[in-house]
Amino acid sequence: MADSSAVMASGAVGDPSTALMLRVRDGDALAFEELVALWQERLVTLFRHHTGDHAIAEDLAQEVFLRVYRARATYRPTAKFTTWIHTIANNVSSDLRQRAYRRKERGVPHNVSASTSALGLEHLAVAASGLRPARQADRSELCDVVQDAIATLSDNQRMAVLLAKFEHCSYEEIAAAMGLTVPAVKSLLFRARDQLREKLGPYEREGSR
């Protein structure tokens, strides 16, 4: 009863994920399976574009579900489930980043994200020069260029952009998921826009034609 009122107060009414999560909390295994089926593609998509690696994305998505299941007893529907799971996803991503940083510190090569790799920058250079001619880039080329442009963003910028684009999160939801303020999120997105414009300028003009 208390949970129901909390759900109504938090505006999570009608959120199927929240209802599923409440059932998971009460020990409903079938509800967890439904939750996984409902969210796994969204999470893999988010991590795929964030890391640039599909296998890593699947691993990270599974890690998110594991954390969700382990924390099921402490789940309180004071906010939408989407915000809760986005927060977990952001934490998993941060942990991966820190592990990759530690590997780098120890001199172990990592293949987590192309954002800081020389390979990503080389690809971007090719895209920005050789492919710039006015010929119309086909869809796969555009896909590569956009991926490389996304990879040049900082991890926080990339996560904010991806949450906004693929999870349709508002500033407030992004801020809640990433533990930032709304102005900070706007600032992140503003700088991301400038960087993307710099890399994707020619394609923006072609796309707008």
Partner 1 sequence: MTNSAPQPSSDSPATLLGPAWDLLDSLPRVTTPPSMTSTTLEMVAAATRPQPRPGSWWQGWLAPAAIVAVAFAMGMVAGRTTVTDPEKAVLEYLPVLEHYDVLKEAGSEEFLTQVARRDYPAPRRPAFGRGGERGGEIAMPAYEALDAAIAVFESTPFGPDEARTTDRRTDISDRPLEERRKLSDAATDFQRLSPAGRRDLVRLARVFGGRDGTGPHRDELLDAARLWHQWLATRDPADRKGVIDLDTAERLEWLDHYALMRPGSGRWPRFNDAPPVGPRRGPPPPGEIPGPPR
Q: Which residues bind partner 1 (CB under 8 A)?
A: 32-33, 36-37, 40-42, 44-45, 48-49, 54, 57-58, 61-62, 65-66, 69-70, 139, 142-143, 146-147, 150, 160-161, 164-171, 174, 186, 189-190, 192-193, 196-197, 200, 203-204, 207-208
Q: What Å distances lie between residue 56 and 60, 68, 83, 87, CA to CA?
A: 6, 18, 22, 18
CB of 134 to partner 1, least distance (A): 17
Coil, helix or strand for 53? coil
Question: Residue 40 corresponds to which tokens in the numbers above?
Answer: 């796994």
Cα torsion 69, 179, 37, 140 to 10°: value is -140
CB of 2 to partner 1, least distance (A): 26
Residue 6 vs 58, nearer CB to partner 1: 58
Coil, helix or strand for 168? coil
CB of 4 to partner 1, least distance (A): 24
Residue 19 vs 174, nearer CB to partner 1: 174
CB of 123 to partner 1, least distance (A): 15
For residue 128, give the H/E element and its range: helix 118-129
